[in-house]
Homo-oligomer: A and B are copies of this chain.
Amino acid sequence: MTGVAASDGPDASARPNGTPRRRGRPPRTESAGTRDRILAAAREEFSERGYEKTSVRGIAKSAGVDSALVHHYFGTKEQVFEAAVEVAFAPALKARDTVLDGPLDEVGERMTRMILGLWENPVTRAPLLAIVRSAVNNETAAGVFRRLIASQLLRRIAGQLDLPDAELRAELAAAQLVGIAMIRYVIKVEPLASADPEEIVRRVAPVVQGHLTRP
């Protein structure tokens, strides 16, 4: 099933949604456009309904395509979810490298700014909400969360610390930020829900730094 979007082989003209190919636009670009539209719809649906209540059919309807096309590009619902989460998570993984790059005595502030930045931006907030909502309710989604957040984010940060308890440190630091996200963006408890992000960084970055590097 994979690779069809990028195919230039003899079947490239057998367009799954039956629309006529426009002139001067290669199939790769148009397929990528459709794929992106499905992914955007998937992010929206998973965000609003959570993993369990989202259906491939609902995603297809929201993207204005046939369900078969969703299956064609992504496979099962779980695979659409993984793809949506991975796209949503791309800015975090990019930002992760920024977190890893600077001096170690400012890693707490960089990690705090990265996480708050992802939640403050509506484009990345929606899929994060989707991940959180889905992960607390569904074991499949929790597995995706564990794999992406734990392995790709926390373990990489822990690797930079070069301490025997680095993973526990990274998780306690992450816990502070996950809890803030829960109270501020998910449950929306005041006054934290309306607090100035810079005020939060000022109060929280030293805590995150302490978890990561304090002896």
Contacts and interface: CB of A to CB of B under 8 A. Distances in A.
Interface of A: 50, 132-133, 135-137, 142, 145-146, 149-150, 154, 167-168, 171-172, 174-180, 182-184, 186-192, 195, 199-200, 203-204, 207, 210-211
B136 A186 contact: yes
Nearest to A171: B192
A77 to B, nearest CB: 18
Contacts of A135: 186-187
Kindly list the 5 A-B residue pairs having the minimum CB-CB distance in the complex, ordered from nearest: A179-B179, A175-B179, A178-B179, A171-B192, A175-B180
A145 B135 CA distance: 19
B174 A183 contact: yes
Nearest to A182: B178
Contact of A191 (B50, B168, B183): B168
B146 A188 contact: yes
Given A150-B190, A176-B176, 17 more contacts: A132-B136, A133-B137, A135-B187, A137-B137, A142-B186, A142-B188, A146-B187, A146-B188, A146-B189, A168-B191, A168-B203, A171-B183, A172-B180, A175-B176, A175-B183, A176-B179, A207-B210
B175 A192 contact: yes
A204 B200 CA distance: 18
16 contacts: A142-B187, A146-B187, A149-B189, A150-B189, A150-B190, A167-B190, A168-B191, A168-B199, A172-B192, A172-B200, A172-B203, A174-B179, A175-B183, A175-B192, A176-B176, A179-B179
A146 B191 CA distance: 12
Nearest to A129: B136
Contacts of A191: 167-168, 171
